[in-house]
Structure 1
Amino acid sequence: MLQLPPGCEISCPGCAYRGLSAVASAERKQSYLSRELAPWEAVIEPLREPAERWGYRKKSLLHVRKLGGEESSFWGIGMIRRRGREEEFIPIPDCPAHDGRVNELFSLAARLVPVHWPFSFALASGRALTIVLKSTRRAEWAAEMRAWVLPPEISLFVNWNPGAGNRPLDSRRTECLQGSPWLEEGGVRHGPVAFRQQIPELERAAVELGENFLEAAGLPLGVDLYCGLGLSLRRWRALGWEAAGVELSGESLAAAAVNAPGALLLRGRTEERLPQLNEFIGGKSFVLYTNPPREGHGAAVNGWINSAAPARVAYLSCNPRSLKDDLKVLAERYSVEKIVPFDFFPQTPHVEAMALLKLRVDLGAL
């Protein structure tokens, strides 16, 4: 087993591959993809890896527990290890997988939040700190948090979530108490909760790969089914394309409106917005970018793709098993040209993959 860096808590369940070398970890992930995506093994490329495997996490959501005795209690921030019905709280104050700023924000939260408050989760994202309180809004607590002395670059948010538990955040009840309500990295606006890949170099590589493949079709009309912050829409609009995106998160969609001005943005579940997408496409040829949640597209979305027949599809998947299921259905009309894996989460078994699909030649592919 490799020597672990300082601060790595051996009992923490977060990084199952931390004892492996970079080579051994990559081999396991590559082997897993080959098994799960066996029908397309011949077109799976080598894993794209980051330059650094530690200190990469710029966003982290952790559990909070009160530790110490009754007279000397303090906040611990960390992970939960489950063994059957038993749970063990593992504090990770100096986690080496985190960017140093993330650990600093968690330390700040542990110092500032009074120990009698119902502090349940802490979220650090870039220069934003979100305190999750298991409570409805209390004006006196909000006033106290507004008075905290923070570094000037830090934005402070509170998420009022009386049901905090299996669902840590209530998407309807996030309030900005200090600093800017919006963050910006690399010219892209985002909020404190919105998803973004942890490793910018790999995020750029994945977007470039998918967009270059789509743009080669020569069709200035693009649809992004789970558009998030609008990275693909931003690029398409800069090229003068007509573009439409669907996104469930209101925070992400508000950011996409700034990141990709002029794009048609539809809020809701993708399967519920297919009629509006048909109207937008208007029977014209188009290309498609898709990055669905772990469960994949589902029958309605796969059926729509086969029916609407975009000339090319770039599909970024966070779950090879659901990708396999979706590709089996899309094989009705598409050939898989290439599958490129990305190691967005070093030290863990998690691996993502970009599948590049073309409408089959006998059906008029480009």
Structure 2
Amino acid sequence: MDMREDTELTLTVDRLAFGGKGVARVDGLVVFVDGGLPGATVRAKVTRVKKGFAEARAVETLTPAPQAVAAPCPHFGVCGGCLHQDLDYAAQLFWKRQQVAETLSRLGGLRDVDVAPAVASPETYGYRNKMEFAFAGRLHLGLHERQRPGRVLDIEKCLLMDDRTGDILAFAREACAATGLAAYDPRTGKGVWRHLVVRRSLATGGRLVHLITGPSRRAGDAAHHFGEALLERFPDVSGFVHSVRRAPTTVAIGERQVFALGTDHLEERIGDVRLRISADAFAQTNTTAAEKLYAVVAQAAGTAPDRALWDVYCGCGGIALALAPGFETVYGVEADKRAVADAQKSAKLSERENCVFKTGDAATVLADLAATKPAVVTLDPPRAGADGQTLAAVMDAAPEKLVYVSCNPATLARDLKILSDLYTLTQVTPVDLFPHTAHIEVVAALELRR
């Protein structure tokens, strides 16, 4: 078949690929279908043709998928935040497990892996404790569109967070627009407003709002006036932080904190761990599911009361603090000094006196820690996975157990293939921290071969 862009096809979708697109076939050619659910027949328009595969977008559902449901969000389909509100949650869990198994087999050569059923999130809506909203133009504030990610959709509320967040979002959009200042444009470096990050604590009910602007001279006064008005309008917002970001990359992380009104952090609880979370801190965005994640990690790690544990890429210390009662000493390693400062304060809050947190390049710090001879090493790297030198340092230490927590099955597969020289993969458990999205968190348990 002569397939080109804008060609319309009738396709039957047979499964979901990693990343969330449906998979169909035409004359043996794989077609990845945005908006296609397993079991559905759709009319789709081809958007891209490459050697070996094509991409298409579903424009009409001719026969609905057996597990299709009505999406409750009025922005669904336009907003890029959720892909699968229209798929029954049990089916989402099934396909996430399948995607993990397929990815480990295809990219890691791990074909006989025991992949457990995905652990469900206790809440499927209102579960997020953090949302990142983007500014654009004069003046939009919301989430990026699904089909046109360069555009920002003004959303009234997001069902992944509570209703109060929608109220804060509407107030911020109106207040910032009233200044007459435009959003920051990464192409020109001009403009002010960049991101609005809203956090909430389930433990205290407090909220922290983080405004990130460009380096414009006009940003400081405007941000201060906005912060004061926000705190007056919303008594449950316990803190406001203004940061500046100069880099053009559209990441909701401040490079320099300018000021804070009220408190500059939140306190959260996950099990018996008390976490101090600053404006730019990395912490799991689903508090109740994070407790389940920690439980899976703890089961895989076991205990060694007279031995050490290394927690590599420890962030603000959640996993290290959760596992600390089972080990003599826990060493947390993290490159971000702000995260380490939070981890140290969290250790005091949690009364964990056996935790030591170190800042620096992971491979370098692990070399310095070699004499501690860990019984267990946990790793929770960013999406890019662990770097080769860090994996080499871990393998040199040869702990009896490794527990690898990953938010990207593709890089997990790559790293497990490297670790397989010394370790046997004993269990893989997906944990769903992100219902209705394509994101998957995975815990892999490994044991040293004797």
Q: TM-score, normalised by structure 1?
A: 0.87
In the other structure, the counterpart of 1:3 is 70
Larger Rg: 2
Q: Which has the higher contact order (CA 8 A, sep 6+)?
A: 1
Query: CA offsets per residue over residues 276-300 of structure 1, 9 Å max, x none?
Result: 2225x1xx34211110111111211
* In 1, Cα distance between equivalents of 2:82 and 2:126: 13
In the other structure, the counterpart of 1:93 is 156
* In 2, Cα distance between equivalents of 1:10 and 1:297: 34
Q: Is the 8 A contact 1:8 1:96 kept in 2?
A: no
In the other structure, the counterpart of 2:189 is none
- Is residue 109 of structure 1 aligned with residue 109 of structure 2? no
Taking a change above 3 Å as real, the CA distance of residues 315 and 26 of structure 1, as seen in their structure-2 partners, is: same
Q: 1:278 aligns with which of 344, 349, 370?
A: 370
- What is the number of residues matched between the two proteins? 349
* In 1, Cα distance between equivalents of 2:417 and 2:247: 39
* In 1, Cα distance between equivalents of 2:317 and 2:285: 16
Deviates more, 1:102-111 or 1:241-250: 102-111
In the other structure, the counterpart of 1:169 is 253
- Is residue 36 of structure 1 aligned with residue 103 of structure 2? yes
Taking a change above 3 Å as real, the CA distance of residues 215 and 139 of structure 1, as seen in their structure-2 partners, is: same
In the other structure, the counterpart of 2:359 is 267
- Is residue 121 of structure 1 aligned with residue 186 of structure 2? no
* In 1, Cα distance between equivalents of 2:297 and 2:252: 32
Q: TM-score, normalised by structure 2?
A: 0.72
Matched letter for residue 429 of structure 2 = V
In the other structure, the counterpart of 1:71 is none
Tell me how far 1:259 sits from its aligned partner: 1.5
Matched letter for residue 210 of structure 2 = T
- Is residue 358 of structure 1 aligned with residue 447 of structure 2? yes
* In 1, Cα distance between equivalents of 2:307 and 2:78: 51
Tell me how far 1:176 sits from its aligned partner: 4.2
In the other structure, the counterpart of 2:48 is none
Deviates more, 1:159-168 or 1:200-209: 159-168
More strand by share: 2
Helix, strand or coil at the partner of 2:128: coil
- Is residue 292 of structure 1 aligned with residue 355 of structure 2? no
Taking a change above 3 Å as real, the CA distance of residues 20 and 82 of structure 1, as seen in their structure-2 partners, is: closer
Tell me how far 1:142 sits from its aligned partner: 5.0
Query: CA offsets per residue over residues 16-70 of structure 1, 9 Å max, x none?
Result: 1222111222222122112112225441100111132222122111211245xxx
* In 2, Cα distance between equivalents of 1:328 and 1:36: 12
Q: Quote the sequence identity (%).
A: 23
Tell me how far 1:91 sits from its aligned partner: 1.8
Q: Is the 8 A contact 2:308 2:327 kept in 1?
A: no
Deviates more, 1:332-341 or 1:128-137: 128-137
Taking a change above 3 Å as real, the CA distance of residues 152 and 175 of structure 1, as seen in their structure-2 partners, is: farther
Helix, strand or coil at the partner of 2:150: strand
- Is residue 304 of structure 1 aligned with residue 422 of structure 2? no
Q: What aligned pairs does 1:1-366 form with structure 2 within 5 A after superposition? A: 1-38=68-105, 39=110, 41-67=112-138, 74-81=139-146, 83=148, 87-113=150-176, 114-117=178-181, 118-126=192-200, 127-136=207-216, 139-141=220-222, 143-145=224-226, 147-148=228-229, 149-154=232-237, 155-171=239-255, 173-186=256-269, 187-239=274-326, 241-261=328-348, 262=353, 263-279=355-371, 281=372, 284-360=373-449, 362=450
Helix, strand or coil at the partner of 1:141: helix
Helix, strand or coil at the partner of 2:85: coil
Helix, strand or coil at the partner of 1:338: strand
Pairwise CA RMSD of aligned residues? Answer: 2.3
* In 1, Cα distance between equivalents of 2:240 and 2:275: 20
